[in-house]
Structure 1
Amino acid sequence: ELAEQALPLAGAIATKRNAEVVLTTAVTAGDRWVDDGFVRQWESEEQAAVESYQRSIIERLQQQGVHAKAHSDWGQPQAVIESVADREGAGLIVMTTHGRSGVSRWTLGSIADKVLRTTNTPLILIRPTAEAPVPEAVRQIVVALDGSDLAEAALPAAERFAQAMDASLLLVRAVVPPTMLYGGQFVPGGLPVLDQLEAEAKQYLERTAERIRKSGLKVGVAVAVGAATDVILTASREIGADLIAMTTHGRSGLNRWILGSVADAVVRHGGVPVLVIRSWPRLSDEAPEAIPVVGDVVVRPPVLTETEQATGSPRPRRGDVRPHRPERSPGR
C-alpha cells in the first residue's frame, strides 16, 4: 500500500508528458541451499502472484487513461530498479519512502537511499502522511539554491518538469548567518553583513530567474535569513508548493554516498514530494567544504599555523645517516 501511493503522481506526470509508467517489482530469491523442489515451487507461485498484482495495477491505470507496463525481476530492490530504469531509458524514478527505527524520528528508507546513491536518473521521493496527502498535480515547484554549481544542477530537471506540468518555479535561497557556522568563534554577523548577504543572494536569484523566464516559465524568487532547511520548508508552505527540487551530494566515508542532511530533513518534514538530483562538486585546489560560502561572501575558518620547535635538533628522517652509538650491554 505504501508503494502504491506513488501511483497518482506518477500517472499525472506520465499523462502530462505523454509518457508511459513502467511498474517495477523486485522479487527476492528463495534459499537455494535447500533444493527439494519446495523452493522452486514457491518461486513459481511468487512470480505468478507478482504478475497478477501488476496486471491489476495496469488495468487501474489504463482506466485513468495512463499508458503502463510492468517488469518483475529477481534480485535486490535497488539493483532491480536501477536495471529497469537503464533498460527503459527512464527519465524519472518515482518511489515512496518510509520511517525506520527510532523514537518519533524518520530517516530515509534504505532502499531509497541505495537507489539515490547509485542511479543518475532524477528521483522523486514521496513520504505520505495523513496530514499531507500526495498531490495528483504539480503547479508550484520550489527550487533550493545556494549559489553553487552543485545546487544549480537541479535547475535543468526542474525546468523540464515545470514545462511539462505547466507549473511555476520559486527559486529559494537561505542566507545563513556566519555566527551559525562557527560556534565559539567570533565572525562578523551583524545587520550590515546580513543586509549585504541578502542583497547579493537576491541579485543572484534574479539573474538566474531572468535566464529561466526567457523559456516562457513563470519564475519567482525568495530570500530569507536562517537555516537552509527552515527557509526551504517555510517558502514551500507559504506558496502551497506541490514539489521541492534540490540536489544532494557526497559526504565523508569510504567512497560511500549518503543523502545530504538538508535534503534528508526536507524529505522528512516537507510534506510534499521531493525531486532529488544527485550531483558531485567539481574538484578544485581548495576543498569546498572547508570554506563555507554565505551569500556570495566567503567566510573562512580561523587560520591554524604550526611553529617550529625552539629547542632540540630536528628528528632524523628515514634514510638520514645516524651517528654510530656503541651497543650497551644488558647489564648497563
Structure 2
Amino acid sequence: MNILVAIDELDPSCHHHLEIATQLARAYGGGLIAFHAAAAADLVHAGRTLQQLAGGVSSEVAAYGESGRAMAILEAADRHGCDLVVIGTQGLDPFVGRFLDSPAHMVLAAGRHAVLVVHPEHGLRKRGPRTVLAAMADPDFSTRVLQHGLHLAKALNAQLKVVHVGSREEDPVAVLLHPREPHSSQRMVAEAAAELTRAGVPSEGLVVPNYAGLADELAQAADRLDADVIVIGSSGKLDLAQWMLGSIAEAVLHRSRRPVLVVPNLTL
C-alpha cells in the first residue's frame, strides 16, 4: 500500500502526521511520500523546507491553482498511485471546513481515496496492545470497511473490534432482563468477527445501543475500547445534502480526537 501524507503547514507540527504515516508505511511495507501544495511563487522555498522537515521521506511540492490545495493533493495521490491519504486537522469545523475549503473536508468529499484523518492530540501507540475499531453498518456496505480494518489490524498487529450501533432494545441490561433470540445485528457482528478471526486477526463483535446518536456512540465506544484507529465507511462522493448537513463519518471526526480512517464505498 502506497501512502501520501499531506503536509498543510511547513513547521514542526507536521512531524506528528509524518510519524503516523511512517509507522503505517513500515507496517504495510509500502511506499510513502510527503506532499505539500504551495503557491507558485513559494515553490522553491517550500520544497527546501519540506525536504528538511521530512527527513529521509521522499517529498514533493506542487503548485495549486484555482481548484485549491485539496485538488492538488488528490492529483498527487493519483500521480503516485497512492491507496491512502494521511491528512491532519486541528478539528473539522463543519462551517469553516465546508465553506472555506478545508483541504481535509474537500479530500474527504471527493471520495476518491481512503483517507486517514489525524489530530495533533492523538496518534498510534508505539508499544503495548493495539486496537482497531471497525464501524459496521449493513453487511454489503461494510465489506470494504471490514477489509480495510482487517488489513490495518494485521499491519499494526492489533485486535479488531467490529462495532455496530443498534437499537435501544439491544442494550445489554435490557437483554439480560428480557432474554430472547439474538437480534439480527448481534448475529451480523458475531459472524463478521468470526470470519475476520479466521482470516488471522483476533476479532470481537459488539452491538452498542443508540442513545446518543450514531456518531456519538461510535466515538464513545472508541474511547471505552481505547481504539488506536476508527475505521468507518462513507458513501463515496458527497451529494449536496450530505455536503450541507454532514455525513456520519464526518460527524465522528468532529466528536473524536482519535485517528479516523474513512473508506469510500468506491475504493478498496
SS at match of 2:240: coil
Find the counterpart in structure 1 of residue 61 from structure 2: 72
Asked if 1:262 corresponds to 2:248, the answer is yes
Asked if 1:201 corresponds to 2:185, the answer is yes
The answer on whether the counterparts of 2:161 and 2:204 sit within 8 Å (CA) in structure 1 is yes
Distance, in Å, in 2 between the alignment partners of 1:253 and 1:115 is 15
How far is the alpha carbon of 1:154 from its aligned partner? 0.9
Which protein is bigger by CA-based radius of gyration? 1
Q: CA-to-partner distance for each residue in 1:127-161, whole Å, 9 max, x for gaps? A: 223xxx32354821001112242233211111111
Q: What are structure 2's unaligned runs of at least 5 residues?
A: 1-10
Give the structure with the larger strand fraction: 2
Find the counterpart in structure 2 of residue 328 from structure 1: none
Find the counterpart in structure 2 of residue 10 from structure 1: 21
- Following superposition, which runs of at least 4 residues in structure 1 exceed 3 angstroms of deviation? 1-4, 99-102, 105-109, 194-198, 256-261
Distance, in Å, in 2 between the alignment partners of 1:146 and 1:211 is 16
Matches within 5 A, 1:120-159: 120-129=112-121, 133-137=122-126, 139-159=130-150
Q: For 1:55, which of 30, 38, 51 is the aligned residue?
A: 51
The one-letter code matched in structure 2 to 1:51 is G
- Change over 3 Å in CA distance of 1:211–1:99 after alignment to 2: closer
Find the counterpart in structure 1 of residue 226 from structure 2: 240
How far is the alpha carbon of 1:215 from its aligned partner? 1.3
SS at match of 2:36: strand
The answer on whether the counterparts of 2:160 and 2:201 sit within 8 Å (CA) in structure 1 is yes
Asked if 1:91 corresponds to 2:83, the answer is yes
Distance, in Å, in 2 between the alignment partners of 1:174 and 1:156 is 19
The one-letter code matched in structure 1 to 2:120 is P
Distance, in Å, in 2 between the alignment partners of 1:95 and 1:150 is 24
How far is the alpha carbon of 1:114 from its aligned partner? 1.2
Structure ranking higher on relative contact order (CA contacts 8 Å, 6+ apart): 2
Q: For 1:222, which of 206, 219, 235 is the aligned residue?
A: 206
Q: Cα RMSD over matched residues?
A: 3.0
- Change over 3 Å in CA distance of 1:148–1:257 after alignment to 2: farther
Find the counterpart in structure 1 of residue 8 from structure 2: none
Q: For 2:152, which of 146, 158, 161 is the aligned residue?
A: 161
SS at match of 1:47: helix
Distance, in Å, in 2 between the alignment partners of 1:51 and 1:247 is 34
Find the counterpart in structure 2 of residue 82 from structure 1: 74
Find the counterpart in structure 1 of residue 261 from structure 2: 275
How far is the alpha carbon of 1:242 from its aligned partner? 0.4
Matches within 5 A, 1:287-326: none
| TM-score, reference length from structure 2 | 0.78
How far is the alpha carbon of 1:110 from its aligned partner? 2.2
How far is the alpha carbon of 1:26 from its aligned partner? 0.6
| TM-score, reference length from structure 1 | 0.64
Give the structure with the larger helix fraction: 2
- Change over 3 Å in CA distance of 1:17–1:80 after alignment to 2: same
Report the identity percentage.
20
- Change over 3 Å in CA distance of 1:170–1:164 after alignment to 2: same
Find the counterpart in structure 1 of residue 197 from structure 2: 213
Distance, in Å, in 2 between the alignment partners of 1:251 and 1:83 is 18
The answer on whether the counterparts of 1:198 and 1:224 sit within 8 Å (CA) in structure 2 is no
Find the counterpart in structure 2 of residue 28 from structure 1: 39
Q: For 1:114, which of 76, 95, 106 is the aligned residue?
A: 106
Distance, in Å, in 2 between the alignment partners of 1:230 and 1:201 is 19
SS at match of 2:103: helix
Q: How many residues align?
A: 240
The one-letter code matched in structure 2 to 1:14 is A
Q: For 1:171, which of 157, 162, 168 is the aligned residue?
A: 162
- Change over 3 Å in CA distance of 1:198–1:72 after alignment to 2: farther
The answer on whether the counterparts of 1:8 and 1:136 sit within 8 Å (CA) in structure 2 is no
Distance, in Å, in 2 between the alignment partners of 1:101 and 1:58 is 28
Q: What are structure 1's unaligned runs of at least 5 residues?
A: 30-42, 63-67, 179-189, 281-332
